[in-house]
Chains A and B, each alone.
Chain A
Amino acid sequence: MRDVPISNCEREFLLAIIAEKKRVDGRQPTDLRQVKIQFGSNFGSCEVSFGKTRVLATVSSEVAAPKQRRPNEGILFVNVELSPMGHPSFEQGRQTEESVELNRLMERCLKESRCVDLESLCIVVGEKVWTVRVDVTVVNQDGNMLDCASIAAIAALAHFKRPDVTVKGQEITIHTSDERDPIPLSIHHMPLCVTFAFFHQGKFLLIDPQEREERVTEGKMVIGMNKHREICMLQVTGQMLLHQDKVKQCTKMAFVKVVEMTELIQEALANDKTARSKGEKCGFAMSSEKEINTTVSPAKLVEDVSKTDLPMSSDSDSGSEQEMVEAGPQERPVGDSPKVVGKGVAIIGSAAVKKWEEEEERVKGDKKGKKKKEASVKEASVKGQQSRPQASAYF
């Protein structure tokens, strides 16, 4: 089902604020949204979210015959699927231009950069090799699927462990995880994609465009890079011309982002490893935040539970269950007084936290600082006997 088209007003508004270096979600042009990397309880499953965009990558492996051209190399297979759950315009089992492009870019990013050591996946030359399959599913689309998918895919590959194999003559034994520890893939480097969206004839660019911004963009440039500053992929789409300097500038920006992201992946991997080694619970269910909208602050709730627990331990009668249920509501927190956040606004409990007032104050503070600066600029210009009308035209 096709999407509702974007209205002219909205398009003009988006373009106008981009020209003022602002964005609808309050980010700076080169800011990323909040990135979250979560690993599943199985090895090789990873979910990455960029704001509301969510991508799930799962890695699986099986033994198969190698390609005739490369008898001593394993096979890496990448597949990107846009599930209808992700966006109303995605349809099941139909290859759209968008999905083909995404598939191709992911393939180029992961396969052609040779980031996975395929030779180590060989079991018997020319006969048996490991086929590693990366399935990337877009769970929710809110723009910049590619960057999200590339992180998910490489993180899942780094997280994945394949079963150990021993070869004795003609006999091949695949050990289960109980017999021998599974072996991680050897990853040489982590190529990550950074997408730049261009506006106003390439004059303004945004990193990590969200869905609305993607709809009004003139063109996009994707840079695939690793933290060693090696460009693995570069693609420009759309109707625009880019100057050479712009491309160089973008590669510099991409490098900063890639380093940031690689650190984040490594941190997430390390966290997962320590959690597993300590025997703590891990997986999506553990790491996902529960969104609870309550009028009672969580701290109070915890206190409540302890209070209601006490009578149970004191009188251990058999028929106390009904009493307990009744005792519950009596112990409701009474002292949760409304907190005044700003003028004309009251918030009770943890629901509906807003930050507008704080933001305004901060902006005001900035303006004061700027005014002081402006004043000093004016002074300087007077001293230097130069008339500089543009000094006051900054605001």
Chain B
Amino acid sequence: MEVDIRLPAPRGRLAAKEDDEITLVTPGDVITSDTGFMRGHGTVMEDDSLKSTVAGVVERVNKLISVRPLKARYTGEIGDVIVGRVIEVGSRRWKVDVHAKLDAVLMLSSVNLPGGELRRRSEEDERMMRKYLQEGDVISAEVQNVMSDGTLSLHTRSLKYGKLGQGVLVPVPPSLVKRRKTHFHTLPCGVKIILGNNGYIWLTPTVTESNTGGYEVDLSPVSRGDREEMARLRNCVLALAEQKMLLYDTSIMYAYEESLKFESKVLLKSEVASEIAELAQQRLEHEGYK
């Protein structure tokens, strides 16, 4: 008989590398008492010393000191790839949840409508908005502009972006998604992955390749094999996120390869998950990734 004995509480995090010059601070920690520095985001000047207001990593650019929070809502930058969920259809705009402090806006004028890019937008289109995207739909988009109050304005004027069909949405802390040249990857295991800069990660089978950029989604059943691969990848992503490891194509792929010796449902156990993350980290270090 197979017996499964688990720890009553999850094990601690992986030991952090010692050689790195990372300064971690918690709210209220004194960063410096030197008055020659400038106050950046996540810091406050109190009693002639610079104190942190968030828990995170201290960053310094010349005289400017700021603290990048470890776990915070997403603050957008122009050009970021995001995955979001439509929550409201308004007049000539959609409101999109992107795990930011405020809801992002996708204007009707910044989407590609069927029938060519140079088509004029008529009142008809305004009435048809719900037909393109309705509440609850998941989309991929790019940040076009950051307004003065921090609201993000999105666009999907590329064939890469648009409505997402069948797949798995995995929310992770946004700071764990590594900024890279491309955030769209087709992994060798037959799954397409979109690493949204806002911490939403979308996994989808590659069979539904043909409809990117459109508003039609393929709802044909996904084969069991594909679904298992997606479930395995999801668990790998969560395992990496649990150990606060950066997420990008290589790290996810390494975790995936390390996970192959386990059944995908076993990956949900915290001990197995941390083991995989540890193995992936060792491999990354060995291969020279940082």
Query: Residues on A close to B: CB < 8 A?
Result: 1-2, 4-5, 7-8, 11, 293-295, 338, 340, 343-346, 348-349, 351-352
Measured between alpha carbons, how far is A349 from B169 in the docked complex, in Å?
Answer: 37
Q: At the interface, is chain A mostly helix, strand, loop or mixed?
A: loop
Cβ of A1 and Cβ of B8 under 8 Å apart?
no
Q: Is the CB of A344 within 8 A of B2?
A: yes
Interchain CB contact under 8 A, A4 and B4: no
What chain A residues lie within 8 Å of B169 (beta carbons)? 7
A16–chain B nearest beta-carbon distance, Å: 15
Listed in ascending order, the chain B residues whose CB lies under 8 Å from chain A are 1-6, 8-9, 73, 85, 87, 97, 99, 101, 103, 136-137, 169, 171
Q: Report which residue of B1, B4, B8, B87 has the largest number of chain A beta carbons within 10 angstroms of its beta carbon.
A: B8
Q: How far is the CB of A373 from chain B (nearest CB, A)?
A: 35
- Central interface residue in B85, B99, B171, by most chain A CB within 10 Å: B85
Partner of B4, one of A8, A294, A346, A351: A346
Q: With both chains docked as a complex, state the minimum distance between the C-beta of B84 and any C-beta of chain A, in angstroms.
A: 10
Contact of A2 among B5, B8, B103, B136 (CB under 8 A): B103
> A293–B9 contact, CB under 8 A?
yes
Smallest CB-CB A-B distances: 4 pairs? A8-B136, A351-B8, A344-B2, A5-B87
Measured CA separation A293–B8 after assembly (Å): 8
Contact B97 A5 (CB under 8 A): yes
Of the candidates B2, B8, B9, B136, which one forms a contact with A5 in the assembled complex, judged by CB atoms under 8 Å apart?
B136
Partner of A345, one of B4, B9, B87, B101: B4
Q: Is the CB of B3 within 8 A of A346?
A: yes
How far is the CB of B266 from the nearest CB of chain A, in Å? 12
Chain B residue with minimal CB distance to A3? B97
A344 touches B136 (CB 8 A): no
Once the chains bind, are B1 and A344 in contact (CB under 8 Å)?
yes
List 30 A-B pairs, Cβ < 8 Å.
Answer: A1-B73, A1-B101, A2-B97, A4-B97, A4-B171, A5-B87, A5-B97, A5-B136, A7-B85, A7-B136, A8-B136, A8-B137, A11-B136, A293-B8, A293-B9, A294-B8, A295-B8, A340-B3, A343-B1, A343-B2, A344-B1, A344-B2, A344-B3, A344-B4, A346-B3, A346-B5, A348-B5, A349-B8, A352-B6, A352-B8
Task: List the B side residues contacting A338 at CB < 8 Å.
Answer: 5
Q: A344 to B85, alpha carbons, bound, how many Å?
A: 40
Chain A residue nearest in CB terms to B135: A5
**How far is B169's CA from A345's CA once the two chains are assembled, in angstroms?**
31
Q: Which residues of B contact A7 (CB under 8 A)?
A: 85, 136, 169
Q: Hey, which chain A residues are within 8 Å of B8, CB to CB?
A: 293-295, 349, 351-352
Q: How far is the CB of B150 from the nearest CB of chain A, in Å?
A: 13
CB nearest to A12 among chain B residues: B136
How far is B85's CA from A293's CA once the two chains are assembled, in angstroms?
Answer: 38
